[in-house]
């Protein structure tokens, strides 16, 4: 795979094509998604280009923001959210400073979030708090891949973003069998359309490998379904509302998280 500088023209072309497609659809939802993508891509490019420290800081900041949204969805009390945020932020920072210590830090993170409800003596919701906090550690742990995988992350981000919009558009256009009761608006036709679009982006950017192809084709829809399950439990449509009609940050990175996990495991 080529370096970041060589990828920029292709990524800019993908952005332009995505913007044209979103405009032609005349759907506000797609335009807002594209705008979020157009803002996020340069930020990711700048962090990766600047080196491991800014990349780790970006991953940690994303993790803290996701924890804030997830903590509200999961109904976690403030102490649980604070410890979970520290645990999630520590993982990418460890991946930068001491990658050999990652297994130990992740184990400590799980123990730390589990100890909060345990030490509080919560006899009513203690188990629920514990399991939801541990899920948060596991769910956001793939942010370590932002540091460990380097420029590949940018490719995966673009591929998943394109796949997400293509899946939504394809599902609406083609219809057919529904993907899962967790997300009744999604169809198998959209999943296949999104996978094809994501794999096309990998090929365009010279990053098509069996591992990355599987990560994008499988990880993106699974990540979306995972967040749908959490939001259904909370009976909400979006994880937040601060992204000007595009939901929250977790709504934008849900597919990427599982994709990163698979890419890290398979690469």
Taking 60 as the threshold, does the pLDDT of residue 209 lie above it? yes
Q: For residue 167, what pLDDT band results from cuts at 50, 70 and 90?
A: confident
Distance CA 46, CA 162 (A): 20
Closest CA to 226 of 159, 142, 166: 142
Alpha helices in 98-248 (DSSP H): 102-120, 126-140, 144-148, 152-174, 188-204, 210-234
Taking 60 as the threshold, does the pLDDT of residue 245 lie above it? no
Write the burial class of residue 128 (CB in 10 Å: 0-12 exposed, 13-18 middle, 19+ buried). middle
Write the burial class of residue 182 (CB in 10 Å: 0-12 exposed, 13-18 middle, 19+ buried). middle
Which long-range CB contacts under 8 A does 14-22 form with residues at least 24 apart? 14/158, 14/162, 14/201, 14/204, 15/41, 18/161, 18/162, 18/165, 21/165, 21/169, 22/165
pTM given for the model: 0.89
pLDDT in tens, 105-158: 999 999 999 999 999 999 999 999 999 999 999 999 999 999 999 889 988 988
Range among 31-35, 62-66, 185-189, 241-245 with highest mean pLDDT value? 62-66
Domain ranges of the chain: 1-50+149-267, 52-147
Average pLDDT over residues 7-30: 74
């Amino acid at each position: 795979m080529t370096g970041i500088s060589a990828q920029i023209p292709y990524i800019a072309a993908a952005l332009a094509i995505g913007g044209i497609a979103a405009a032609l659809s005349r759907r506000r939802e797609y335009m807002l998604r594209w705008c979020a993508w157009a803002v996020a891509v340069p930020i990711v490019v700048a962090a990766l280009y600047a080196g491991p420290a800014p990349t780790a800081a970006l991953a940690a900041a994303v993790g803290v923001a996701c924890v804030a949204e997830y903590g509200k969805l999961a109904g976690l009390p403030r102490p649980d959210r604070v410890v979970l945020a520290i645990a999630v932020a520590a993982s990418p920072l460890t991946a930068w400073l001491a990658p050999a210590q990652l297994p130990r830090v992740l184990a400590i993170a799980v123990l730390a979030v589990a100890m909060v409800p345990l030490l509080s003596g919560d006899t009513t919701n203690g188990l629920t708090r514990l399991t939801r906090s541990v899920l948060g550690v596991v769910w956001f742990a793939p942010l370590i891949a932002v540091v460990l995988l380097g420029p590949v992350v940018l490719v995966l981000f673009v591929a998943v973003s394109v796949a997400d919009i293509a899946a939504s558009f394809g599902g609406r256009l083609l219809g057919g069998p529904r993907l899962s009761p967790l997300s009744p608006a999604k169809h198998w036709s959209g999943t296949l359309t999104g996978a094809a679009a994501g794999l096309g982006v990998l090929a365009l950017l010279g990053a098509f490998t069996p591992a990355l192809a599987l990560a994008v084709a499988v990880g993106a829809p699974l990540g979306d379904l995972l967040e749908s399950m959490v939001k259904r439990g909370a009976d909400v449509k979006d994880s937040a509302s601060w992204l000007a009609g595009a939901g929250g940050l977790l709504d934008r990175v849900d597919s990427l998280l599982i994709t990163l996990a698979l890419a890290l495991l398979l690469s």
